[in-house]
Amino acid sequence: MESMSRGATCMPEVAAVAPSAAKIAVQVKVNGKTYARESEPRMLLVEFLREACDLTGTHVGCDTSYCGACTVLMNGLAVKSCTMLAVQADGADITTVEGLEKDGQLGPIQKAFAEAYGLQCGYCTPGLMLAANQLLGTNPEPSEEEIRHAIAGNTCRCTGYMNILKAIQLAGRNMRGA
């Protein structure tokens, strides 16, 4: 998948101009676990997570900062990990979709997406769940309007958004124990 997305978005001459730069040490905490790795300065955070940390739950969708499939939390805030360099995350606390589970069980947002059929192919789902995570962290009972504002940076190409809205409302209800 990774090589497909690269082939789709990069121009052919790219390989020829790729510079060889010294690697830089990067230490990040991902889902509570510390990863100390070396990264080329140009490596994107999403590639670092997938390739250097072997956490492939974070997806590369468009690779143009549009679709939000690569959304992770950095220090609690949703960011597009395809629009940050890995070296910029040095010292940061990252949460990926793998970090949403609790004790080997699906976490409340994951459960709600499953129960409310908030996905079809599932490609956009990790990003949507992390965008929802930032929203519900500050606003446990969001209106539909507020949810739409919070997930406007996440594109779903198959389901449409109605069940996603329902899933996030359900997750909010479950998280506040209503």
d(CA 115, CA 137): 20
Shortest distance (Å) from residue 37 CB to other proteins: 18
Closest CA to 151 of 177, 116, 125: 125
Q: How far apart are CA 160 and CA 28, in angstroms?
A: 34
Q: Tokens 């629009």 appear where?
A: 83
**Helices within 2-95 (DSSP H only):** 2-9, 14-17, 45-47
Look at residues 12, 126, 5 and name the one whose alpha carbon lies nearest to residue 58: 126
Are the CB atoms for 115 and 160 separated by under 8 Å?
no
57 vs 106, beta carbon nearer other proteins: 57
Q: Does 143 bind other proteins (CB under 8 A)?
A: no
> In the window 65-94, what residues touch other proteins (CB under 8 A)?
65-68, 71, 77-80, 83-85, 87-88
Site string for other proteins, 10-39 (x = CB under 8 A): xx--x--x----------------------
Shortest CB 103 distance to other proteins, Å: 28
State in angstroms the smallest separation of the CB of 87 from other proteins: 8
Q: Does 168 bind other proteins (CB under 8 A)?
A: no
Q: Which residues bind other proteins (CB under 8 A)?
A: 9-11, 14, 17, 41-42, 44, 63-68, 71, 77-80, 83-85, 87-88, 131, 134-135, 149-154
